[in-house]
Amino acid sequence: MKTLDDFLKELDGLVRSSPSNEVVPAVERLLSQLGSCEVEIPGEKERTRDDRYARYCLALPEDRAYSVILMAWAPGQGGPIHDHDRLWCVECVLRGEMKITRYDPKEVDDAGRVMFAEHETIVAGKGETGHLIPPLEYHRMQNASADIPAYTLHVYGGEMKTCTTFVPERDGFCRRECVRYHSD
């Protein structure tokens, strides 16, 4: 399988036919197969942004059973610690390398701010996959290269309209901010 269209067709059947407890591992296997190939990314979806990573919606069926988002990361670009709005997610690096840090909530103060403990940091290369299943869904991603863009493909267990990002404050806690998503 080398095209995104082939992947999307197979993904649709897989999500609809797999028992709920087998969907995430099945999607991860499928993404791993795609990631091991040279995937052609449509030219208009290779564009990065200066202000944040770019998001391109590749699939969102009418029933919102899943969504597929391609992200384009400029060199060194990253995002904040965030959740996935209680949706499972499987991610794959299509090109480049991504630094991915997972976090565990350590403490919540009276104002609802969260202190996180770093769980692990990895550098994932082309074809490497990972998944997040609530409540273990807090992480941060960053293009590990200072020279070349990176591209990742994300499959969510529904439509992720919002998420919570966590903005660090001086005392080690992070305040919550709700982010509404749109695709570029």
* pLDDT per position as a tens digit, 167-182: 999 999 999 999 997 7
The whole-chain average pLDDT of the chain stands at 93
* pLDDT value for 37: 87
pLDDT score for 148: 97
**pLDDT at position 127, please?**
93
The pLDDT assigned to 79 comes to: 93
- Burial class for 95, CB neighbours closer than 10 Å (0-12, 13-18, 19+): buried
The rounded distance, in Å, linking the Cα atoms of 172 and 161 is 28
Decide if pLDDT at 1 tops 60.
no
Per-residue pLDDT, 2: 65
Angle between helix axes 4-17 and 23-35 (nearest 10 degrees) is: 170
Q: How far apart are CA 15 and CA 70, in angstroms?
A: 18
Q: Which two tokens mark 179?
A: 């982010």
Q: Does domain 4-180 have CATH number 3.40.50.720?
A: no
> What are the residue ranges spanned by the domains of the chain?
4-180
Helix intervals (H) in the chain: 4-17, 23-35
Tens digits of residue pLDDT in 55-86 = 999 999 999 999 999 999 999 999 999 999 99
Give pLDDT, residue 68: 96
pLDDT digits (tens, 9 = 90+) for 33-46: 998 888 888 889 99
Percent of the chain predicted with pLDDT > 90: 82
Residue-wise pLDDT tens digits, 94-141: 999 999 999 999 999 999 999 999 999 999 999 999 999 888 889 999
The pTM assigned to this predicted structure is 0.93
Q: What's the confidence (pLDDT) of residue 158?
A: 94
